[in-house]
């Protein structure tokens, strides 16, 4: 009974918003969590692992003790054990009440994040979920993976913790606690130490073999086969090729133009050395390096009707009432256009698509002649827009645009020529890694 009173008192006080926020959340809970964090940073296992071990050992010991008392028929001691067990359970509830129950009465996190307090509807929830899933997928596509598809971490836990604390610190609200996360030490078994020694010897021997037998390849020049989708091939590669040729005049290059999905297939199969694509496809061993931001725009004839649309603002929902000319299936431009329209709530099924055309010059001429409207790269539409033959409409909420990527197969050794070409691209677009 004496345990229930403080438990009820804590739960009652936790219902008061000011106490829940400043006494419990920012005071008691943050202090106790900080102590646990500090302790577990200096022991080779986590708090949860310690708790699990204690619960298992304690549960087994309790079960053995109860069975022993039952066999001995010591009812008084058995009742005392059960009483203590109930008391321990109440103490756990009290600890939970002090640590976590008041957190449910805290104020909304939205003001702390600088966001307006708004009513949550099903439509907003679906839109937010789609937005964040899309962002997570986009981030996942850019992560480096091993041969089995597992993500290779780009930061240690300590670096990630420092970065998160820094971002939350910029809010200057005090709503979020700041803790230091330390990496746990890994202790190798005797067998592991032997394996590590042998692995180091293998790596050292590999380096010696490369040094001894790779010298004759230093000046080797090999024809580099490059597959590129339409936009990189027509608007970015010419400048890259000119600068590469000026820097390495003896090199030979072979250029193949196809859509983004075929580029990824060719790189994955090893039939080409390097690819340029506007779409990231999950292909085994493919390494993607974003090097250019490409914006898509809606292009229309330069007529009175569309000049009026231009004056109305950035809304492009009128595209659902227009005849639309799209790039062919498999095109990175088409996939990105459908994704950006879907983000606005415009489904591809709602569009009145009258033609799918692979050649974008044909698409532009068809638009100029009034056949319909289309969605192309701003690079592709630049000359016609500047000359006044077409109008362009940016797609709202499209951020900085899609990534155009250089891609190669990390499971196939690159020739010296291919390595020099990739280095040139990185220098032109100032890519550090």
Q: State how far the alpha carbon of 327 is from the alpha carbons of 20, 281, 299, 362, 397, in Å.
A: 57, 18, 13, 10, 22
- Please tell me the predicted confidence (pLDDT) of residue 299: 96
pLDDT at 378: 92
Q: Are residues 236 and 100 in the same domain?
A: no
Same domain, 409 and 393: no
85 and 233 in a single domain? The answer is no
336 and 311 share one domain: yes
In this structure, the answer to whether residues 140 and 64 fall within a common structural domain is no
- Comparing C-alpha atoms, which of 231, 245, 220, 273 is closest to residue 428? 245
Residues of the chain with pLDDT under 50: 218-219
298-313: pLDDT as tens digits? 999 999 999 999 988 8
Count the domains in the chain.
5
Beta bridge partners of 377: 296
Please give the Cα distance from 332 to 275 (Å, whole number): 13
- Dump pLDDT digits (tens) for 168-224: 677 666 666 665 555 555 566 778 788 888 888 888 888 778 766 655 554 455 789
Report the CATH number that the domain containing residue 317 is assigned in CATH: 3.40.190.10
Q: How far is CA 122 from CA 119, 126, 129, in A?
A: 10, 6, 10
What is the domain range of residue 153?
111-115+122-171
- Name the one residue in this structure whose structure tokens are 């930061």: 155
Q: What is the pLDDT of residue 282?
A: 77
Looking at the structure, tell me whether residues 308 and 377 fall in a common domain.
yes
**Is 176 part of any domain?**
no
The residue length of the chain stands at 433
Q: Would residue 34 count as lying in a domain?
A: yes
Q: Are residues 335 and 369 in the same domain?
A: yes
Which H or E run contains 275? Answer: strand 274-277
Nearest to 375 by CA among 386, 358, 363: 363
CA quadruple 306, 312, 314, 315: dihedral sign:
negative
Residues 199, 154, single domain; the answer is no
What is d(CA 330, CA 265) in angstroms, rounded to the nearest whole number?
Answer: 12
The pLDDT value given to residue 243: 94
- Please name every residue paired with 299 in a beta bridge, in sequence order, or none if there are none: 374, 392
Residue 181 lies in a domain: no
Q: Is the same domain home to 269 and 413?
A: yes
**Same-domain check for residues 417 and 274:** yes
DSSP state of 251: -
Q: Whole-angstrom Cα distance, residue 384 to residue 362?
A: 13
Return d(Cα 380, Cα 236) in angstroms, integer. 11
Same domain, 263 and 284: yes
Check whether residue 333 and residue 374 sit in a common domain.
yes
Predicted pLDDT at 136? 81
């Amino acid at each position: 009974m004496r345990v229930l009173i403080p438990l009820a008192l804590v739960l009652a006080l936790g219902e008061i918003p000011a106490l829940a926020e400043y006494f419990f959340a920012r005071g008691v809970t943050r202090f106790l969590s900080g102590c646990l964090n500090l302790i577990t940073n200096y022991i080779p296992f986590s708090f949860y692992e310690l708790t699990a071990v204690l619960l298992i050992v304690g549960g087994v010991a309790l079960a053995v003790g109860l069975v022993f008392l039952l066999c001995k028929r010591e009812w008084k001691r058995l009742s005392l054990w059960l009483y203590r067990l109930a008391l321990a359970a109440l103490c756990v509830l009290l600890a939970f009440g002090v640590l976590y129950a008041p957190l449910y009465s805290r104020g909304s996190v939205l003001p702390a994040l600088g966001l307006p307090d708004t009513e949550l509807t099903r439509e907003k929830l679906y839109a937010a979920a789609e937005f964040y899933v899309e962002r997570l997928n986009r981030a996942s596509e850019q992560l480096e993976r091993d041969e089995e598809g597992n993500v290779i971490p780009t930061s240690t836990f300590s670096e990630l913790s420092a970065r998160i604390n820094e971002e939350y610190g910029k809010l200057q609200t005090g709503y979020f606690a700041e803790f230091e996360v330390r990496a746990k030490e890994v202790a190798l078994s005797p067998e592991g130490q032997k394996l590590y020694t042998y692995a180091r010897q293998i790596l050292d021997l590999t380096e010696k073999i490369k040094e001894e037998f790779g010298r004759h390849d230093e000046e080797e020049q090999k024809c580099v086969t490059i597959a590129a989708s339409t936009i990189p091939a027509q608007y970015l590669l010419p400048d890259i090729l000119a600068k590469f040729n000026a820097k390495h005049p003896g090199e030979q290059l072979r250029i193949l133009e196809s859509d983004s999905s075929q580029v990824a297939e060719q790189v994955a199969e090893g039939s080409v050395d390097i690819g340029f694509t506007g779409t990231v496809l999950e292909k085994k061993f493919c390494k993607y390096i974003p090097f250019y931001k490409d914006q898509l725009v809606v292009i229309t004839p330069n007529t009175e009707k569309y000049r009026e649309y231009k004056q109305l603002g950035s809304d492009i929902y009128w595209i659902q009432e227009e005849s639309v000319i799209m790039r062919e299936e498999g095109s990175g431009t088409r996939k990105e256009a459908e994704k950006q329209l879907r983000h606005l709530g415009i489904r591809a099924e709602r569009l009145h698509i009258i033609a799918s055309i692979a050649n974008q010059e044909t698409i532009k001429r068809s638009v100029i002649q009034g056949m319909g409207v289309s969605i192309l790269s701003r690079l592709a539409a630049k000359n016609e827009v500047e000359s006044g033959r077409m109008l362009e409409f940016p797609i709202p909420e499209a951020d900085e645009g899609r990534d155009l990527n250089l891609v190669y197969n990390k499971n196939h050794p690159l020739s010296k020529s291919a390595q020099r070409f990739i280095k040139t691209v990185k220098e032109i677009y100032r890519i550090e890694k």
